[in-house]
Amino acid sequence: MLLIDLLEQLKGHAVLQGISLSVLMTLTRLTSHLKRDILQPQSICQSDPEYAPDKLPASISSFLSDAVKIPNEHVHDYWSLLKDYIWNMPTTPLSSEDYTLFKEHGWVYGITALTLYPPNSVCINPDCANIAPLKKEEQCKAVVYTLSNGVQPAWNVHVYCPKCQTNYHNNFSVQDGVRTYYMGIPSYILVGEQSHDGKSVNDVREGISDYMRINGGVCMVSTWGKSETQEKCVVPRCFRPM
């Protein structure tokens, strides 16, 4: 479906019919980028990754409303009309303007352009019978060092299977104290947790930048704060500012 067709679907809505193609493109790009953040806090019956959930989390709705200057109630109408298209569209890279929108309007709600999730939303332990989406999560703040977009704040989220007690992180899982890395080349590499061994932040950034130039631009991640014992939150990042 073309964006011009989406505009046709919005005809008849008192407010949405008047939005420009540029605003619609920004809105769909931001929403598509937040699919995992939209899905994670949903109830089990609304957590099938093949289908868009009926409603947006309140924090994401507020962010989108502020970012494109559309009243919050109309963001819900937009989602009801276009959610199936958005859910099935490929995720496109964010522009520099998009990163600015996250900084200016998302951080206050605890929403960042980058959130590091495990690649799976269900338990993949072959010896575990649990097939329900994993909803018990822990999170900590992180810094992602990128070549194209500089240093970015992020959330590092891992989910937990209560049946086999496996913790799933962005590029590895932990069970019974044993860390197992996933197959393939990760998009992000964790380089430090909580402290930098007495080095200044600039020393760490310079070392990471050198590594990234040598290793093809794989993003590097440093986390701080509680990780294994971070307080639980039903809605990820729920209005907690960065």
Return the higher-pLDDT residue of 56 and 198.
56
Work out the average pLDDT over 67-94. Answer: 90
Residue 208 has pLDDT above 50, yes or no: no
Cα dist. 111→63, 102, 114, 115, 236 in Å?
8, 7, 8, 8, 9
- Where does the pLDDT of residue 3 fall: very low under 50, low under 70, confident under 90, or very high at 90 and above? low
Structure-block tokens of residue 96: 């520099």
Read off the amino acid at residue 22: S
Which pLDDT value is given to residue 17? Answer: 74
Residue 126 has pLDDT above 60, yes or no: yes
Which pLDDT value is given to residue 140? Answer: 87
Provide the pairing of β-strand 151-161 with 136-145. Answer: antiparallel
DSSP annotation string for 90-130: PPPPPPHHHHHHIIIIIGGGT--SEEE--S-SB---TT---
- Where does the pLDDT of residue 16 fall: very low under 50, low under 70, confident under 90, or very high at 90 and above? confident
Query: Which of 11-25, 73-87, 133-147, 148-162 has the least mean pLDDT?
Result: 11-25
Work out the average pLDDT over 13-40. Answer: 87
